[in-house]
Amino acid sequence: MAGHLQLQTGWRPMPTNSCFLDLSSTTFAYEGSFGDVVSNINWSVPEGGVHCLVGRSGCGKTTTLRMIGGYEFPSSGEIKVRGQSLNNVPLEKRNIGMVFQSYALWPHMTVGENIAFGLGVRGIRGKQQRDQVREALAMVRLQGLEDRRPAQLSGGQQQRIALARAIAPSPTLLMLDEPLGSLDSNLRNSLQIQIRDIVKKIGVTSIYVTHDRNEALSIADKIVLMNNGKIIQVGTPNEVFQSPVNIFAAEFLGHQNIISGQLQSDSNNISFDCEFGKVILSNNITYDLAANSIIIDTRGISLFTKNEADNIESTDNLYECTIIGKSFKERAYEFKIQVNSQILIASFQPNYWGETPVLDIGQKAYAKINSEFIYGF
């Protein structure tokens, strides 16, 4: 049988037993405002790992972070760490490290003094303070910069100093609010790897906020997708990417081929009837019995000329199409194709010789869809 059927009712919050951080029915609204900024959040965070709050600007992710950190207090509900309520605990008593997008380094202080500041607030001074400053600088690979001023550092170095300051006091929880938002794309990609490596090395539970889906997918152990003040899905990057709970999640995560139709099942296979025909689904993927949409990954569509298509053994998921667009985007060539009245996107990375399908706009071709790249929701 070409597929598995499973009746699914959508994502539900995980049970809250043995969790490190627990938000229970947590809501935040500004006094006198109409509507909640964060609405009835239930979220349990296990100890360790990078948990990434991701969503569009204004969805409530930074407000959620600020409530955890003590910069805002919930209008209702409760926030606990290791079973202890934080609702009435002031910011300075929470032992939480914070990294801001703006770095928030004191310009009149040296690097060493910036890192030492939080240690001094906690009563750590003298040799212990100097040792922890050196350890934090070594962790972010910026040894020897203790006497420089922030203005003498690059943006990437300043952000790593901000991270060193946050981890120097050995916080219970590390929070990072759009920490790479002020940096150029190449530096962001490099620092994503460095931040993840550092966090993993010290083993601190981390909450990371970003609106950049690619950043979230590359840095997170768990993705927490928010929309309109609510958590709509939690899972590993692979789970969230391959099984979005709804069209908003699919579109936010970058899926371009979202197809409406009807799931069909018979004794031989599971298929999906849609505008451009019947699509045979994979026997390695579980599909929702009530699914009325599928995602076709852009990497799962191969294009052929008519002569090439004549030599393909199986005609399953093979469709005549027209090339209506072609561009180069993010290290891959994208072809926009029309199958009947349906527009699809197919992407190809150049092979070893730099080759891609030789097809021109307006040309008739054939598209073959790999069923292993079809996801249902």
| DSSP letter string, 107-144 | TTS-HHHHHHHHHHHTT--HHHHHHHHHHHHHHTT-TT
pLDDT score for 209: 96
Residue 4: pLDDT over 80: no
Segment 104-115 mean pLDDT: 92
> Bridge-partner residues for 278, per DSSP?
273
pLDDT score for 359: 87
Residues found in the chain = 377
Q: What is the pTM of this model?
A: 0.85
For residue 240, tell me if it sits in a domain. Answer: yes
Angle at 190 between CA 373 and CA 231, to 5 degrees: 55
238 and 326 share a domain?
no
By C-alpha distance, which of 212, 239, 278, 227 is closest to 377? 239
Q: Which domain holds residue 333?
A: 255-377
CATH of the domain at 58: 3.40.50.300
Total domains in the fold of the chain: 2
Q: Taking a C-beta distance cutoff of 8 angstroms, is the pair 281, 364 a contact? A: no
238: how many CB neighbours lie within 10 A of its CB?
10
Q: How far apart (Å, rounded) are the C-alpha atoms in residues 318 and 309?
A: 9
183 and 86 share a domain?
yes
78 and 218 share a domain?
yes
180 and 159 share a domain?
yes
For residue 57, tell me if it sits in a domain. Answer: yes
160 and 284 share a domain?
no
Q: Quick one: tokens of 139?
A: 């962790």
**pLDDT band at residue 8 under the 50/70/90 scheme:** very low
For residue 10, tell me if it sits in a domain. Answer: no
Q: Taking a C-beta distance cutoff of 8 angstroms, is the pair 366, 358 a contact? A: no
For residue 169, tell me if it sits in a domain. Answer: yes
Q: Which of 221, 249, 277 is the last residue of a domain?
A: 249
Beta strand 364-369 pairing with 301-304: antiparallel
110 and 175 share a domain?
yes
For residue 124, tell me if it sits in a domain. Answer: yes
Residue 331: pLDDT over 80: no
241 and 284 share a domain?
no
CATH of the domain at 344: 2.40.50.100
Q: Taking a C-beta distance cutoff of 8 angstroms, is the pair 174, 97 a contact? A: yes
**pLDDT band at residue 108 under the 50/70/90 scheme:** very high
Q: Which of 216, 249, 282 is the last residue of a domain?
A: 249
Q: Taking a C-beta distance cutoff of 8 angstroms, is the pair 199, 43 a contact? A: no
166 and 266 share a domain?
no
For residue 200, tell me if it sits in a domain. Answer: yes
274 and 237 share a domain?
no
For residue 25, tell me if it sits in a domain. Answer: yes
Alpha carbon of 47 to those of 44, 78, 176: distances in Å? 10, 18, 16
> What are the counts of helices (DSSP H) followed by strands (DSSP E) for the chain?
9, 22
270 and 238 share a domain?
no
345 and 299 share a domain?
yes
By C-alpha distance, which of 231, 207, 209 is closest to 11? 231
DSSP helix/strand/coil, 298: helix
**pLDDT band at residue 363 under the 50/70/90 scheme:** very high
**pLDDT band at residue 332 under the 50/70/90 scheme:** confident
53 and 77 share a domain?
yes
Q: Which of 249, 275, 292 is the last residue of a domain?
A: 249
